[in-house]
Amino acid sequence: MKRRILIGTFALVVVAGLGGISLRSFGAANDEDDTGYSQIAIFAKALQLIRQDYVDGNKTSYHDLVTAALKGMLSSLDPHSQFMDPDDFRDMQDDTRSRFNGLGIEVAIKNGLPTIVTPMEDTPAAKAGILSGDQILKINGTSTEKMDLQDVINHLRGTPGQKISLMLIRPSTKEIKDYALERAEIKVQSVKSARLLDPDLTGSFKIAYVRLIQFNEPTADELSKTLDELEKQGMQALILDLRNNPGGLLNSAVDVCAQFLPPNTKVVSTQGRVASQQREYSTSGAAKERPHFPMAVLVNEGSASGAEIVCGALKDLHRAIVVGETTFGKGSVQNVMQLPDGSALRFTTAKYYTPSKQVIHGNGVTPNIRVPMSPEQERLVFTARSSGDTIRPDEDKGFIKSNDPQMMRAIDALKGVMIYAQQNAIKPEAIKK
């Protein structure tokens, strides 16, 4: 039995057990005394007492205690702030370079549980049918209820070939399901499925389709080359698919916007507590200008962070029609600061705002045309796409018509823009989206 009683400015800790009772008191700082020195003195005293008297001495090294304190401190701020030991920090750097080992799951803490932001394509998680919004109840039989974000990530990652079991709940249906998966080396190609859609879907217009899986270092260059090739094939309009895109690097998202917006166009701004966090991010003055073809962007609940910056900017600036469902709402800025021992702090310093000053965090981006999909439709569409694009070209149009209402609405919207332009003898780009 353990009770903590606060009396005046003294903390009394009462510990009762078979061996009797021990009572100690030590001075505590006044509530109004929030200077760094006084609080660090309390922390140092607590550290001393634990090292001196804690029953299990091999758990009380300075490294272990301070690391645990840092993890608790960062995780208490918000679900996206975390302390990373040197190994965790190296893993994060590998993520931005499109390589890591694990299941291919982007995770955030939501309503107290690890929640799937996105199962990345061509990965064990996506191939198993795991969907955005699924929540992890157990990992290898261990409850996730008290795990912080980094603990969850560490449990999910591992050596390729290692097996892992997950228990997930799907909030939309309340279904609880067990998954047996095998970790793999994840190599994420940012740009996928680039092609002109079948004329049976698009009529006389050449509508291209491109999916972006995430925003990492090579994404903008890969997309630029892809668009060059599609333009050579006569592309007249584009569908950019950002569904299940978990985001990534801010600069990469801005550079992707530069493929569709004029140079020096403000894409996103950040606002934080200190002046250094009040920033605006614009497309490069040297960005290559492309034809102003009609454009639609597909989004869903799995579109987060960088994906929300891109679709929010293209929507606000009337560059694209946004089709699908409201995005995840992860619009906060995390700065990563490396510490002398190779570990790092990742903490929230600002929030993202779209060009029209709409806050993304907690709200997401609302589509111009809302088109919901059932969990079964999501499973069919994203499992098929995550199996290496194995749908044959002659089957693609039938698959889209039967299973992907969001894609069909985007195609219809673009056809409408171009038909209107033809009938009124104006260029499609002159039409406000």
148, 316, 396, 404: which is the annotated catalytic residue?
316
Residue with more model confidence, 223 or 431: 223
β pairing state of 369-370 and 279-282: unpaired
Q: How much is the average pLDDT of 78-102? A: 75
Return the CATH architecture of domain 191-430. Alpha-Beta Complex (3.90)
CATH no., domain 97-187: 2.30.42.10
DSSP structure class, residue 60: -
Q: Contact, 310 vs 190, CB < 8 A?
A: no
pLDDT band for position 96 (cuts 50, 70, 90)? low
Predicted confidence (pLDDT) at residue 18 exceeds the cutoff of 60: no
d(CA 291, CA 428): 11
Gyration radius (Cα) of the chain, Å: 25
Known active-site residue 343: no
Among 141-150, 204-213, 273-282, the range of highest mean pLDDT:
204-213
pLDDT band for position 164 (cuts 50, 70, 90)? very high
Residue with more model confidence, 288 or 355: 355
Predicted confidence (pLDDT) at residue 354 exceeds the cutoff of 70: yes
Q: Contact, 298 vs 324, CB < 8 A?
A: yes
Among 13-27, 285-299, 376-390, the range of highest mean pLDDT:
285-299
d(CA 211, CA 226): 11
Known active-site residue 31: no
**Quick one: pLDDT at residue 393?**
61
d(CA 393, CA 376): 22
127, 192, 315, 330: which is the annotated catalytic residue?
330
**Quick one: pLDDT at residue 31?**
54
- Do the domains 97-187 and 191-430 sit in the same CATH topology, yes or no? no
The structural domains of the chain, with segments of one domain joined by +, span 2-60, 97-187, 191-430
Q: How much is the average pLDDT of 373-395? A: 69
High-pLDDT (> 90) share of the chain, %: 47
Residue with more model confidence, 399 or 255: 255
Q: How much is the average pLDDT of 335-355? A: 90
What's the pLDDT tens digit per position in 23-39? 455 455 555 566 788 88
Predicted confidence (pLDDT) at residue 11 exceeds the cutoff of 50: no
**Quick one: pLDDT at residue 17?**
38
Tokens 């991010």 sit on residue: 281
Q: Which residues contact 68 (CB under 8 A, 6 or more apart)?
A: none
132, 305, 332, 386: which is the annotated catalytic residue?
305
* Cα angle 26, 29, 34; round to 5: 155
Known active-site residue 397: no
**Quick one: pLDDT at residue 145?**
86
